[in-house]
Structure 1
């Protein structure tokens, strides 16, 4: 009987070993594209004249490219209402800067990037944002009544459509948390948003504790950007969820008029922002 069992184990082991064939899989790679990070954010109470735009190139997911910064491009922004032109200086590290930008609420701005003989354009309208009424803490308004949460309150203007992006960042975290907000059901009222962190070993997330410091940024954004960032947030939050929709490429507003198939990744936005820092007690 023992000899029979040993023979079965031997045959089973041989079978497993014989199935260990090396399989080389061709992983498709997409076209290398220009990536435009152009967020012209005008902080309330400042001149907003100093702005920066970043250019890089996309890379394959499994690629080992060490540097993707784009230099030698021409970057300009034009106020379409006043025809004023703002030239951005190439800093030779992938960033392009200006100290002469003039933000005007309600005006439309257009971006033009010329790189490798290709021209990329985009346009956005500078939306205003309400002041922050207050930032508080509590333990009863979130999903878990035993955990601290941060509360943000601000007023929404009456009789107009408004869209917001809220950025929460705790000092020491690797990434910020983003929330997209529409006033569809809260028009003209005070809007309340909260941020609560769970005790999650898988993501190394820990609940808020006294002494934790959080930076809060509230942006007034266009409906076009709201639709864009909302999809990005949904895909990010749905990562690893077997019931979430299949991730798909999300295009921004940076187009190539003469060669539409050679569009750029990224988004050109022009916003007004208010910021506040809160320390948990």
Structure 2
């Protein structure tokens, strides 16, 4: 159990200290998997594949790299797979590269082994649309230090789309095309941190499915505006990476994340543009 010591100083003629011990609940470290694969160019022959594994909890522990004994991605439709290896050793980062075709077409499985327990995540490639333009605006919401960036893109009218925007600094936004199906769409994003003159921002648009949309929407709401959704594990949001050895033990009275690793497995077409900020 963890104990925090709070010292209350009462300054009269002499000083005295009362020590109050507050017991916080301890939590076993949870496996956290960042397995969002961004496909920047669907026409290149091979695509780098990178997955990050860490251990963390919700009570101020330092996040540590996680050692996995197996990391494999399978295309079950094409009966093909790749193994990922840790690089560098002890980093918790597992890498390889694969023919892009196998990531774009078919059902994909992520298979992990951590401390003898098997984890499995399933997904499919999700397409996106390019960012048409970025431009700096003059508007503000709450203060003069804010910087407005206007993002323009054109939705594909032949499918129902969900998008994830990455605005740097751990700031994300999700949107769906329910109200702009097949249309040109523009919206403003306000940076509330002070940006420097001539600072370059790289903004990305990722194609995601509805399940990943709901997952990220919950993470963004929990993380608030001061921290990004990947800065600390969110213990109430369940991803799609299942602990196969605990599935039979799950019941309605157990915490929502029991039997799941924290994090998500997704393969997303990604388009990016840069903008230079003028102050």
The TM-score bracket by the shorter chain reads 0.7 to 0.9
1:23: Cα distance to partner? Answer: 2.1
Q: In the alignment, which residue of structure 2 is the partner of 1:215?
A: 202
Which residue of the other structure, out of 263, 276, 279, is the alignment partner of 2:276? 279
Structure 2 residue 29 is the aligned partner of structure 1 residue 32: yes
Mapped to 1, the partners of 2:143 and 2:137 lie a distance apart of 9
Provide the aligned length of Structure 1 versus Structure 2: 246
Mapped to 1, the partners of 2:198 and 2:99 lie a distance apart of 37
Mapped to 1, the partners of 2:106 and 2:246 lie a distance apart of 28
Which residue of the other structure, out of 41, 48, 51, is the alignment partner of 1:50? 48
Q: Deviations over 1:11-63 (max 9, x none)?
A: x969x96xx64221221012222111111111035445211111121246244
Q: In the alignment, which residue of structure 2 is the partner of 1:191?
A: 185
Q: In the alignment, which residue of structure 2 is the partner of 1:124?
A: 123
Distance 1:41 1:138, change over 3 A: same
Distance 1:60 1:230, change over 3 A: closer
Q: Deviations over 1:210-257 (max 9, x none)?
A: 5221111110011111000011111122679xxxxxx86111111112
Q: Is the 8 A contact 2:27 2:59 kept in 1?
A: no
Mapped to 2, the partners of 1:273 and 1:73 lie a distance apart of 30
Mapped to 2, the partners of 1:46 and 1:145 lie a distance apart of 44
SS in 2 for 1:31: coil
SS in 1 for 2:151: strand
Q: In the alignment, which residue of structure 2 is the partner of 1:257?
A: 244
- Aligned CA RMSD, in angstroms, stands at 2.8
SS in 2 for 1:50: strand
Larger radius of gyration: 1
Q: Is the 8 A contact 2:35 2:52 kept in 1?
A: yes
Higher strand share: 2
1:269: Cα distance to partner? Answer: 1.2
1:144: Cα distance to partner? Answer: 6.9
Q: In the alignment, which residue of structure 1 is the partner of 2:96?
A: 98
How does the TM-score come out when normalised to structure 1?
Answer: 0.77
Mapped to 2, the partners of 1:177 and 1:72 lie a distance apart of 29
Mapped to 2, the partners of 1:26 and 1:144 lie a distance apart of 39
SS in 1 for 2:187: strand
Mapped to 1, the partners of 2:99 and 2:224 lie a distance apart of 35
Structure 2 residue 69 is the aligned partner of structure 1 residue 82: no
Q: In the alignment, which residue of structure 1 is the partner of 2:19?
A: 22
Q: In the alignment, which residue of structure 2 is the partner of 1:178?
A: 172
Mapped to 2, the partners of 1:48 and 1:42 lie a distance apart of 10
How does the TM-score come out when normalised to structure 2?
Answer: 0.78
Q: Is the 8 A contact 1:167 1:216 kept in 2?
A: yes
Q: Is the 8 A contact 1:36 1:54 kept in 2?
A: yes
Q: 5+ residue gaps in structure 2?
A: 1-10, 228-233, 248-257
